[in-house]
Amino acid sequence: MKLKLDVTPDLVAAMAAEVKAGEKAVTAAMREAGSGLKTAWRGQITGAGLGRRLANSIR
């Protein structure tokens, strides 16, 4: 009886998948941080009595 084991992982594909996952994670983190900052800033503008229209101009 012969047993043959051939392990040839595709290192390039594995690294590309890791890079893609990292890019998605960074994008999601920046989006979440940006939304929190924008909401807080809008709240400060509205709280200072400068109006909702000015607060909503924050992009």
Predicted structure pTM score: 0.58
- With CA atoms as reference, report the closest residue to 56 among 34, 30, 31, 46: 46
Decide: helix, strand or coil at residue 49.
coil
pLDDT bracket for residue 7 (50, 70, 90): low
pLDDT bracket for residue 57 (50, 70, 90): confident
Identify the sign of the CA torsion 31, 37, 41, 47.
positive
Question: Higher pLDDT residue, 9 or 28?
Answer: 28
Task: Give the separation between CA 16 and CA 10, rounded to whole angstroms.
Answer: 10
Q: What are phi and psi of 50, to 5 degrees?
A: -90, -5
pLDDT digits (tens, 9 = 90+) for 13-39: 888 999 999 999 999 999 999 999 999
Average pLDDT of the residues in 41-59 = 89
| Percent of the chain residues past pLDDT 70, beyond the cut | 93
